């Protein structure tokens, strides 16, 4: 083989198609009994593969300057590639999906393209060891494979049931690559809270993250309460920062704003106006006009307010603070197994991003989640998998 690709996820399949289209002989070694298992889970099985709003702020990586150049040079490749395999994209508020809204559409298109290009796919193939002599030797449960070049596309540690068990890190460490600590990202956050009465409640919020008393990032979206934590896309988009911060023993605090439709400085004025409009309403009556009653219950419980209290008689500053700056202190995240992606991996400065070739070992290529690149929700991680696969060997 010209190339053996270890891993049949999106990055591996795209790399195989890219290389086979240039006349290379390719074999994919996939440990599962089918290709693209993780792809079927993306975007709630709808496969949000890219986004029209591309910014460096949407990614974390070991070298922002290097990645900025990579992003600028390659972001236009994603839609072109998706169309080239016969998938018609659909733009929903800036988020790109297959027109069918089904991840299986993209997977089937990738598999058909691999077949038409005569890419050799070996399933249920567990790679145990990789060596380099005059060629690469790949030791597996199905024998030894030899190749001039090799692509590591094994993924990270998220969703291990799909095959991402971290073995790729072991392989690249054997070739003297460093691994920035791998931590959960796009995951739930937990703290020492009793939210059992709120479990399952969804509310539109603004989340503002402070790290060591410095404002880091703000996210707007739907929040989901757990027994002792929070979830939802806006939470996920802060989780990588929190994960890295907690690992470094930084103080993390997220302020929940339950009134995203009101300027914080005008909350008291707004409630004064509501009381004038509704003079016979209690504070509880007023709040339940725009806030889930379970959140109202929590505020009343924390402030020990009586149910019949009027807004004009309430501790207004304290009520306002809980409405727009409810403090949530995360002290842990979901496990790696329950995170959608990981943050950390092989530093991108150890890779030639024009070709994805290792700067340490000639003819070794690394793509996808094994690299220290992770994005927020919105198709950015799948987009990076596609971009990195398309860069293998240069263009």
pLDDT tens digits, the chain, 395 residues: what are they? Answer: 899 999 999 999 999 999 999 999 999 999 999 999 989 887 778 999 999 999 999 999 989 999 999 999 999 999 999 999 999 999 999 999 999 999 999 999 999 999 999 999 999 999 999 999 999 999 999 999 999 999 999 987 776 666 567 889 999 999 999 999 999 999 999 999 989 999 999 999 999 999 999 999 999 999 999 999 999 999 999 999 999 999 999 999 999 999 999 999 999 999 999 999 999 999 999 999 999 999 999 999 999 999 999 999 999 999 999 999 999 999 999 999 899 999 999 999 999 999 999 999 999 999 999 999 999 999 999 999 999 999 999 87
Entry pTM: 0.94
What one-character-per-residue DSSP string does 54-81 give? --GGGEEES-HHHHHHHHHHHTTHHHHH
* H or E element in which residue 182 lies: strand 180-185
The whole-number pLDDT of residue 337 equals 87
**Domain spans of the chain?**
3-183+338-391, 185-259+327-333, 265-313
Round to whole Å and give the CA distance between 380 and 56.
10
Round to whole Å and give the CA distance between 372 and 62.
6
Contact 47, 102 (CB under 8 A): yes
Round to whole Å and give the CA distance between 311 and 271.
7
| Residue keyed to tokens 């690992």 | 247
Helix residue ranges per DSSP H, the chain:
10-20, 64-74, 77-84, 103-116, 167-173, 233-247, 267-277, 283-287, 293-303, 316-324, 380-391
* H or E element in which residue 332 lies: strand 332-333
- What pairs with residue 6 in β-bridges? 29, 152
Contact 6, 154 (CB under 8 A): yes
Round to whole Å and give the CA distance between 210 and 76.
34
Q: What is the DSSP letter of 116?
A: H
Q: What is the DSSP letter of 390?
A: H
Within 8 A by CB and 6+ apart from 61, the residues are 67, 348, 371, 372, 373, 374
The whole-number pLDDT of residue 345 equals 96
Tokens matching residue 228: 């002792």
Round to whole Å and give the CA distance between 272 and 278.
10
At residue 58, φ and ψ (nearest 5 deg) are -85, -5
| Same fold for the pair 3-183+338-391 and 185-259+327-333 | no
Round to whole Å and give the CA distance between 164 and 158.
6
**Beta strands 351-352 and 357-358: pairing type?**
antiparallel
Within 8 A by CB and 6+ apart from 44, the residues are none
CATH code linked to domain 3-183+338-391: 3.50.50.60
At residue 84, φ and ψ (nearest 5 deg) are -70, -20
CA 214 to chain centre: 24
Tokens matching residue 93: 């508020």
The whole-number pLDDT of residue 348 equals 98
Looking at the structure, give the CATH architecture of the domain made up of residues 185-259+327-333.
Beta Barrel (2.40)
**Beta strands 149-152 and 364-366: pairing type?**
parallel
The whole-number pLDDT of residue 395 equals 73
Q: What is residue 350's three-state secondary structure? A: helix
Round to whole Å and give the CA distance between 86 and 98.
10
């Amino acid at each position: 083989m010209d190339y053996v690709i270890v891993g049949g996820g999106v990055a591996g399949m795209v790399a195989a198609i890219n290389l086979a289209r240039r006349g290379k002989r390719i074999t994919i070694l996939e440990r599962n009994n089918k290709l693209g298992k993780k792809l079927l889970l993306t975007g709630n099985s709808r496969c949000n593969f890219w986004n029209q709003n591309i910014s460096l702020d949407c990614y974390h990586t070991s070298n922002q300057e290097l990645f900025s150049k990579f992003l600028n040079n390659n972001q236009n490749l994603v839609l072109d590639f998706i169309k080239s395999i016969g998938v018609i994209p659909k733009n929903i508020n800036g988020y790109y999906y297959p027109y069918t809204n089904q991840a299986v559409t993209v997977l089937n298109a990738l598999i058909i393209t691999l077949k038409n290009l005569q890419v050799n796919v070996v399933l249920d193939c567990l790679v145990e060891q990789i060596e380099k002599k005059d060629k690469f030797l790949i030791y597996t449960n199905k024998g030894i494979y030899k190749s001039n070049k090799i692509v590591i596309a094994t993924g990270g540690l998220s969703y291990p049931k799909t095959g991402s068990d971290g073995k790729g890190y072991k392989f690249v460490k054997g070739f003297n690559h460093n691994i920035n600590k791998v931590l959960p990202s796009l995951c739930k956050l937990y703290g020492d809270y009793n939210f059992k009465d709120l479990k399952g409640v969804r509310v539109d919020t603004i989340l503002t993250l402070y790290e060591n008393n410095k404002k880091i990032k703000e996210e707007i979206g739907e929040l989901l309460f757990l027994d002792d934590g929070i979830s939802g896309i806006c939470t996920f988009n802060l989780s990588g920062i929190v994960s890295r911060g907690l690992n470094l023993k930084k103080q993390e605090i997220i302020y929940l704003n339950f009134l995203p439709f009101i300027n914080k400085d005008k909350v008291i004025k707004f409630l004064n106006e509501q009381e004038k409009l509704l003079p016979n309403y209690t504070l509880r009556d007023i709040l339940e006009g725009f806030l889930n009653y379970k959140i109202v219950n929590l505020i009343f419980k924390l402030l020990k307010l009586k149910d019949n209290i009027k807004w004009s008689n309430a501790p207004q500053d304290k009520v306002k603070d809980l409405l727009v700056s409810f403090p949530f202190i995360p002290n842990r995240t979901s496990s790696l197994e329950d995170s959608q992606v990981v943050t950390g991996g092989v530093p991108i400065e150890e890779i030639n991003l024009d070709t994805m070739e290792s700067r340490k070992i000639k003819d070794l290529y690394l793509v996808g989640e094994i690299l220290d690149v992770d994005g927020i929700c919105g198709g950015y991680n799948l987009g990076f998998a596609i971009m990195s696969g398309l860069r293998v060997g240069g263009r």
